[in-house]
Amino acid sequence: MRTYWKTLTFALLLACQALFSTQAMAASDPIYTGFFSNKALEGYDTVAYFTDGKPVKGSDKFKAKYQGAEWWFTSKEHLDMFTSDPDKYAPQYGGYCAWAVGAKNQLAPGDPHQWTIHQGKLYINYDQSVQDTWLPKKEAFIQSADANWPKVLN
């Protein structure tokens, strides 16, 4: 019985490794959608950051496709605002962590609750501690991230 559990555990570890390796290879998608979803910003309305000043969960009643991801909105008005100018509302670096792109030249997940609007652009970070590191030096990180972004995706 012990051998059975060891074998099962080993098989599960291999399966997880294969899954996460596949996900890592797919991580160069231009929009961060997480491992098991196709929703940008985990379904939060990207326009709401600008209009409501906070993350607000969108609805599948108001959705659009953009850069291979599905974007959810709270209203038809927000959907229309986004579709008329997606570059204005979409987060920089596809919603990946702005600090990771700028400081580490790599992709990391973005948490839609860790956000900043700076000079009319939306930036997402990995978690609160990363955002605390990013905020005081955001100008330098943005400059680096802007230069790194095209290379990070390839």
Domain shared by 111 and 72, yes or no: no
Q: Quick one: tokens of 11?
A: 């098989």
| Mean pLDDT for the stretch of residues 52-66 | 98
Residue 23: what pLDDT? Answer: 42
Half-sphere exposure of 78 (CA within 13 A, CB side): 24
Domain shared by 97 and 149, yes or no: yes
Kindly report, residue by residue over 72-127, the tens digit of the pLDDT: 999 999 999 999 999 999 999 999 999 999 999 999 999 999 999 999 999 999 99
Residue 20 within a domain: no
% of the chain at pLDDT higher than 70: 82
- The range of the structural domain enclosing residue 98 comes to 91-154
> Considering only CA atoms, which of 152, 120, 143, 146 is closest in space to residue 30?
152
Residue 129 within a domain: yes
Residue 9 within a domain: no
What pairing do the DSSP bridges indicate for beta strands 111-118 and 121-125?
A: antiparallel
Domain shared by 86 and 98, yes or no: no
Residue 15 within a domain: no
17/125 Cα distance (integer angstroms) = 25
Q: Quick one: tokens of 153?
A: 């995706």
Residue 84 within a domain: yes
Residue 13 pLDDT greater than 90, yes or no: no
Domain shared by 113 and 74, yes or no: no
